[in-house]
Amino acid sequence: METESTPQQTVKSAEEIDGADLVVGILADLGQYAVAGLCDDLRGLPGNPRVVVLQNVPQNALQNHAASASAAGSDSSAQNSSLFLLPWTLHGQSLPTTPFESVTAAFSSIFALSERLGARGCCLLASHLEYAPSKWICRLTEPLLDKSSDFVAPRYALRKFEGLLNHSIISPLTRSLYGKRIQNPMGPDFAISQQLFQTLWGAEGRNGERTAGGMNLLASLLPRAVCSDLQVCQAYLGARTYPPVDWTAVSSLLTQVLGPVFLAMERSAACWQKTRASTPIRTLNQPLPVPQPAGSVEVARLVNSFQLGVRDLQEIWGLVLPPAILLELRKLSRLPAEQHHFPDDLWVRIVYDFALAHRLRTINRDHLLASLTPLYLGWVASYAREMENSEVTAAEQRLERLALAYEAEKPYLVSRWRWPDRFNP
């Protein structure tokens, strides 16, 4: 297994440890005080497991941090010699260029070290969390150690206008396909068992994806767990701090994230086509109310982007979408911003058609996903206009209706997936 994202100094330090039960990678810049608190919580895990904590530090601080980390491990030996804090850096700096690059590089690195140490599971902490429950790290990792779960996904406090790509596509699509009502199937904070990461890594290697980067592995977490009959749950982690949305970079985000999601969907088609309905999964911790951040979405600007897309992308969309959907989009584009409303069934069928076109390589895959951008912005505008003056409970109900629409339209996807020639646009 490749460890090119892991500095040799960290690998050497890990080799001096006689195995581990759990590897925890801290990618987020939490600060020494927060890291110390997490380590204290991890020392209290039942059964006194051996835990290796990887703390992300800048490359130029790696040497000095290694000495202090080793000292921290030995200082604790009188009370508990089971926790080891090691320095860890990615791509020669504290954080790679984009959040997704950092998560995927960290993912592959933790996989490699977990396998090297023979760990029972591994955990990645990539987010800044607010209002997190007490000892939340234990809730995220205990199911691995007591073997009650193989994949522990995060559940964050809902904020109306954050995480919209996940809420509009990734989460409800995953729920419809694999039958698990899971809020964040791609993390980025999660814990997985040894059985899952060995199953996942072996499957990805057989499919030629071992060197394709961590995003393909990340998108395959929930599908591989479900299709391998492994146990999944989620843990409430409080409110996640999201980076500001750059609406000018949405095309690259869609390409980067949805490409691996659609690839995982293609590889697991035999599994998800057998799923008929979704079921709740076990959720650890109790959700707490959190303040809603100020701010809104520029609906008029997004509607304008949608209308321009309808005007300029008809030729491309005509290769992907049926005539009836194209007609509905033209009708929608004629409405003023204050009347803009994207019906759930229309949005869901568009997502399903793009997934099918991605599978069939109807056009270049990157161009395909980039052409989804105006449609996604149109959905965001519709949702934002509807939720602008609503409470967070209304947003929860709104997203639940969307998830149910994904489930209701699944026969549309299955029929087009099995017999694409019958539905050639």
Amino acid 112: pLDDT? 83
Do 264 and 351 lie in one domain? The reply is no
Strands in 49-165 per DSSP E: 51-56, 83-88, 121-125, 129-130, 151-156
200 falls within a domain: yes
Query: Is-contact 151 193, C-beta < 8 A?
Result: yes
Do 166 and 20 lie in one domain? The reply is yes
DSSP alpha helix (H) spans, 313-364: 314-317, 323-333, 344-360
Do 62 and 152 lie in one domain? The reply is yes
Amino acid 13: pLDDT? 64
181 falls within a domain: yes
Last residue of a domain, one of 252, 284, 316: 284
Last residue of a domain, one of 235, 251, 284: 284
Do 87 and 227 lie in one domain? The reply is yes
Do 277 and 303 lie in one domain? The reply is no
139 falls within a domain: yes
424 falls within a domain: no
289 falls within a domain: no
Do 259 and 379 lie in one domain? The reply is no
Task: Look at phi and psi of residue 135 and say left if phi exceeds 0, alpha if psi is from -120 to 50, else beta.
Answer: left
Compute how many other C-beta atoms are within 10 angstroms of the C-beta atom of residue 420.
Answer: 14
Per-residue pLDDT in tens (0 to 9) along the chain, 425 residues: 444 455 555 665 666 788 899 999 998 888 888 899 999 999 999 999 999 999 887 654 444 444 444 434 444 333 446 899 988 876 544 444 455 667 777 887 888 888 889 999 999 999 988 888 889 999 999 999 999 999 999 999 999 999 999 999 999 999 999 999 999 999 999 999 999 988 887 655 545 444 344 578 889 999 999 999 999 999 999 999 888 888 888 999 999 999 999 999 999 999 999 998 999 999 998 887 888 887 778 999 999 999 999 999 999 999 999 999 999 999 999 999 999 999 999 999 999 999 999 999 999 999 999 999 999 999 999 999 999 989 999 999 999 999 999 999 999 999 999 988 776 65
Query: Is-contact 231 182, C-beta < 8 A?
Result: no
Amino acid 96: pLDDT? 41
Instruction: Tell me which residue range forms the domain holding 322.
Output: 299-418
Do 180 and 237 lie in one domain? The reply is yes
Amino acid 14: pLDDT? 66
Q: How many domains are there within the chain?
A: 2
- Is this prediction's pTM over 0.85? yes
1 falls within a domain: no
Amino acid 362: pLDDT? 92
Do 250 and 312 lie in one domain? The reply is no
423 falls within a domain: no
Do 148 and 238 lie in one domain? The reply is yes
Do 321 and 250 lie in one domain? The reply is no
Do 239 and 325 lie in one domain? The reply is no
